[in-house]
Amino acid sequence: MAANKRYEGEDIVVLEGLEPVRKRPGMYIGGVGMAGLHHLIWEVVDNSIDEAMNGHATEITVTLHKDGRKITVSDNGRGIPVDKHPKTKKSALETVLTVLHAGGKFDGNNYKTAGGLHGVGASVVNALSKELTAVVRRGGAQYRMAFAKGKSTSKLQKLKGAVRGTGTTISFTPDPTIFPKTEFDTKVIRARLETASFLHRGVKVTYNDEVNKSKETFFHEQGIVDYLAKVVKERNARPIHESPFTLRKEDDFRMELTLQWTESTDEHVRSYVNGIPTGSGGTHENGCRGAVNKAVRNYIDTHSLTPRGVKLTLEDIREGLIVILSVFIEDPQFQGQTKDRLNNPDVQSVVEAAIRPAMEQWMNNNRSVADSIVARIIAAARARAASRAASAAVSRKGGSKRTMLPGKLSDCVSGGKGDSEIFIVEGDSAGGSAKQGRNRNYQAILPLRGKVLNTESATLKKILENKEIQDLVAALGCGIGPNLNLADLRYERVILLADADSDGHHITTLLLTFFYRHMPALIAAGRLFIGVPPLYRIDLGKETFWAADEAAREEVLEQYTGRAKPEITRFKGLGEMMPKVLWDTTLNPEKRRIQKVEIDDQLETDRIISDLMGRDASARFRFIMDRAEDAEAIDV
Catalytic residues: 426, 499, 501, 503
The alpha-carbon radius of gyration of the chain (Å, integer) is 35
Concatenating the DSSP letter of every residue in 452-505 gives PP-TTTS-HHHHHH-HHHHHHHHHH-S-SGGG--GGG-S-SEEEEE--SSHHHH
CA angle 499, 504, 507 (to 5 degrees): 135
CA angle 144, 172, 33 (to 5 degrees): 160
Helices 345-365 and 367-397, packing angle to 10 deg = 110
Helices 367-397 and 502-518, packing angle to 10 deg = 90
Whole-angstrom Cα distance, residue 335 to residue 309?
Answer: 42
Element spanning 271, H or E: strand 268-273
Comparing CA positions, the residue from 102, 111, 128 lying closest to residue 49 is 111
Whole-angstrom Cα distance, residue 194 to residue 218?
Answer: 6
CA angle 28, 29, 35 (to 5 degrees): 170
Whole-angstrom Cα distance, residue 636 to residue 631?
Answer: 13
Comparing CA positions, the residue from 406, 525, 535 lying closest to residue 476 is 406
* C-alpha 631 chain-centroid distance: 46
Element spanning 260, H or E: strand 254-261
Cβ–Cβ under 8 Å, residues 530 and 594: yes
Q: Which residues of 185-202 are buried (b: 16+ CB within 10 A; e: fewer)?
A: ebeebbebbbbbbbbbbe
Cβ–Cβ under 8 Å, residues 147 and 97: yes
Cβ–Cβ under 8 Å, residues 256 and 240: no
CA angle 178, 181, 183 (to 5 degrees): 120
Whole-angstrom Cα distance, residue 75 to residue 194?
Answer: 16
SS (H, E, C) 554-603: HHHHHHCCCCCCCEEEECCCHHHCCHHHHHHHHHCCCCCCEEECCCCCHH
